[in-house]
Amino acid sequence: MNAIQNALQSAGPQAAQIEQLWWLTLAVCAIAFVPTLGALLWSLWRAPRATEATPADTAIVSQPERRTRSVVVSAVVISGIGLAFLLLASVRTDHALAQLPLEDALNIQVTGHQWWWDIRYDDPDPSKIFSTANEIYIPVGRPVVITLLSDDVIHSLWVPNLHGKKDLIPGQTATMQIRADKAGTYRGQCAEFCGLQHAFMAFTVTALPAADFDAWRAAQLEPAAQPTDEKAKRGEQLFTSGSCMMCHAIQGTTANARMAPNLTHVASRRTLAAGTVANTPQNLAAWITDPQKIKPGVNMPAHHLPGGDLDALVTYLGTLK
């Protein structure tokens, strides 16, 4: 099974704590399960057989069964001890999860929308704030505080390789602390049922070495590249004067709506439509033409563009590295 979205392949301290607790709990549960079922099977194997006609054993009703009682009582006591142990381990892990050191933390704000993720990198310097969508990049080894908001219904952010989930609740603000200790790309998806396209509200978290992350961040801060060739220029004109700019934003152009994913560096993303299809020109063209076919129920409308215009638009979006 895939490793990039798996609760048992931790890539950071939070998920590792939980994974440890999981194996411990599983062991304790196995220790409880085997003797219980063993006792049952053993009892059935050695108990004498009977039929409906066998007279019931009522002699035992009035006299206490001391031996049986002591066995049952010990079993209950042992279970109680096991449970207390599990409780202790659970509370300890929970405490540890809240203790992730947060010096020099990166602040990211994630807003859930039906059915995509708006990601904003916060910074004390307002000129260093930028937005992207559906693909989070973080530096390896540095803590990240994610602020969780929702624009419509309840969503839940979950990257199993890094941490458990946290709900994005309209009207409330929650935070989540993670750290990735291994470089790599980890997939996550919305974990709280949020309507028609709950199944395709995915995202990735990519952990990069610090230098690579800084380079990525610097690139994201740049406004969109100016188109050079004619086709791309036509594409940009279509974008900013047509319907795209009604919902999308591209930094450095007049398009600045925030209803739909920010497309400033859309060509640098791996997937389209929140992890639904790979980001290729063919898929992009198909997505623009008939998004309902790819993601039924999505709020992106279909666009009936003449062939040349569609080509120009896709070419332009392809330049937005």
Partner 1 sequence: MTRRSQASVKRTAPAAGAAALLEQTWRDPPGLVGWLSAINHKSIGRRFIVSAFGFFVAGGLLAATMRLQLARPDNHLVGPDLYNQIFTLHGTTMMFLFAVPVMQAMAVYLVPLMIGARSTAFPRMTAYAFWMYLFGGLMIFAAFLLGMGPDAGWFSYVPLAGPDYGPGKRNDFWAQLITFTEVSGLLISIDIITTVLRLRAPGMTFARIPLFVWAMLVTAFMIIFAMPAVMLGSTMLIMDRLVSTHFFNYAEGGDVLLWQHLFWFFGHPEVYFIFIPGLGFMSAIIATFARRPVFGYPAMVMSIMATSFLAFGLWVHHMFATNVPELGKAFFTAMSMMIAVPTATQIFCWIATLATGRVNFRTPLLFVLGFFFILVIGGLTGLMLGSVPIDLQVHDTYFVVAHLHYVLIGGAVFPLFGAWYYWFPKITGRMMDERLGKWNFWLFFAGFNVAFYPMHHLGLAGMPRRVYTYPADMGWGPLNLLSTVGAVTIAVSVLLFIVNAVRSRRHGAIATDNPWGASSLEWAAASPPAAYNFLAPPVVGGREPLWEASKDVGAPTYVTGLALDVREALATTPLDARPDHRYIFPQPSIWPFVSAVATTIMFIASIFSPWAIVWGSLLVAVPVTAWFWPKRAETEKHLALEKRP
Partner 2 sequence: MSARGLTCIVAASMLALLPAACDRELRKLSKPQSGGPVPAIGDKPVGMQPGQPGPGLQETSSARTYDGQNAYELNQGKRLFRWYNCGGCHAQGGGGMGPPLMDDKWIYGHEPDQIYDTIMNGRPNGMPAFRGRIPQEEVWQLVGYVRSMSGQASPAAAPGRSDGISASPAEARRTRENPRTTGPEPPVKTP
Binder among 111, 132, 156, 177 for partner 1 (CB under 8 A) = 156
Give, as ranges, the residues between 136 and 165 that touch partner 2 (CB under 8 A). Answer: 152
Q: Which is nearer to partner 1, 105 or 154 (CB)?
A: 154
223 forms part of the interface with partner 2 (CB under 8 A): no
29 forms part of the interface with partner 1 (CB under 8 A): yes
Residue 183 interface partner, choices partner 2, partner 1, none, CB cut-off 5-8 Å depending on type: none
Q: Which amino acid is at 194?
A: C
Q: What is the DSSP letter of 253?
A: S
d(Cα 118, Cα 260) in Å, to the nearest integer?
A: 8
283 forms part of the interface with partner 2 (CB under 8 A): no
Q: Which is nearer to partner 2, 41 or 246 (CB)?
A: 246
Chain position carrying tokens 């709950």? 198
Binder among 197, 220, 262, 264 for partner 1 (CB under 8 A) = 197
Q: How far is CA 100 from CA 64, 94, 235, in A?
A: 55, 11, 47
d(Cα 285, Cα 69) in Å, to the nearest integer?
A: 74
d(Cα 305, Cα 101) in Å, to the nearest integer?
A: 52
Number of residues assigned to the chain: 321
Q: What is the DSSP letter of 153?
A: S
Q: Is 2 helix (H, G, I), strand (E, B) or coil?
A: coil
48 forms part of the interface with partner 1 (CB under 8 A): yes
Q: Which is nearer to partner 2, 158 or 239 (CB)?
A: 239
Q: How far is CA 265 from CA 128, 246, 250, in A?
A: 15, 18, 8
Residue 98 interface partner, choices partner 2, partner 1, none, CB cut-off 5-8 Å depending on type: partner 1
Binding site for partner 2 (CB under 8 A): 152, 170, 196, 237-238, 241-243, 246-247, 259, 290, 292-293, 296-297, 299, 301-306, 309
